[in-house]
Amino acid sequence: MHRSIVLLVFAVVALTITESRTWAKTLQEVAAGADLQKMVKIYKGGKPNAKGEGPIPNLAKLDAPPARVALISFYVADVGKSKGTYYASVRTFNWLTQDGASHFATAYHEQGIQALKETFRKHGVEILTPDQFLDSDAKRTAFVEYKLQLSVVAKIALGFMGGLTKAAASGLDLTQSAVAPGYRLLASHVVATDPKSGVSLEGLRQSLDVDALLIVKNGTRSDAKNVSLTDVHVMLYGPNPVPKIEGKKYIQYKVGQLYVSAQLTLKKPAAVASFKKKKISDENYDGYELFLAATAERAMGYLLEKINKE
């Protein structure tokens, strides 16, 4: 469930990274008295193009929010934790194994899926899980065989992060990701703003015969003793709200775009579990649904604000 790597690191400046005692608060304790929606940030990215060109969607052209939305990825991305000194000493990296990340993704999903569905349902949006939207062999095949297409820049970024994960040879954050059962691992938090990924996901949306696609990423930080939640990220993808006109010339028309990217980041990670004798113990996910619902509500608020804009 947990992996450690020890490296010999040489540097000019000495710096010691120690255990954080602020991880003790639970999700419920963090949520108590907090305005969670104010903790959510929306990626805006600039002004949309009237002709539908570019990566920014012209959401004002939508008549209403997408009615049927497929939740295609629900995953955990663990940045791990490192400790030690940089000056001619041993440095230890800790992060979740893929099985460990999957365990926590499953736990978050069980705790929060109903709250996620209810939050969207209040706004006329039905969230469909894989057991609901994969209702034919053709859809199951399309979902299982789907490959996310990325731009060259995004591929370089992912390749670099993948190298860090495998080699653990840098002081940068390491990432180990895994999904809850039935979902596809689409690390959209890394490439959320990559225009080509939105275009690629549009092909999947059409194959699944839904109005939009939803991805939920849960950020965690783990060390040899604890696992904590750091952030919740909700990303909604859909078709370009401005229909493409045959015969008209476009410069950068994108058939699919990122509608909303909403991320709730905790000021201090909240504890969800600990490790005792290399086994997960003291699990407590109570309150996670509040963070997920707040992120979803803020995302829908932004979407409705843009749709209703004159």
pLDDT one digit per residue (tens) for the chain, 310 residues: 555 444 333 333 222 223 333 446 899 999 998 999 999 999 988 889 888 888 899 999 999 999 999 999 999 988 766 554 444 344 344 557 777 788 889 999 999 999 999 999 999 999 999 999 999 999 999 999 998 877 766 666 655 545 434 433 333 333 567 889 999 988 665 555 666 777 889 999 999 999 999 999 999 888 778 889 999 999 999 999 999 888 888 888 889 999 999 999 999 999 999 888 778 889 999 999 999 999 999 999 999 999 987 5
Contact 273, 280 (CB under 8 A): yes
Full-model pTM: 0.83
pLDDT number for residue 35: 94
pLDDT number for residue 154: 61
pLDDT number for residue 67: 98
pLDDT number for residue 166: 41
Q: Residue-wise over 154-187: b if at least 16 C-beta within 10 A, else e?
A: beeebeebeebeeebeeeebbbbbbbbeebbbbb
pLDDT number for residue 9: 35
Joined together, the tokens standing for residue 174 give: 């390491």
Contact 100, 128 (CB under 8 A): no
pLDDT number for residue 197: 76
Cα 227 from Cα 74, distance rounded (Å): 18
pLDDT number for residue 277: 77
pLDDT number for residue 223: 78
Element (H, E) at 141: helix 137-145
Contact 86, 15 (CB under 8 A): yes
Sign of the four-CA dihedral 101, 24, 42, 194? negative
Contact 7, 85 (CB under 8 A): no
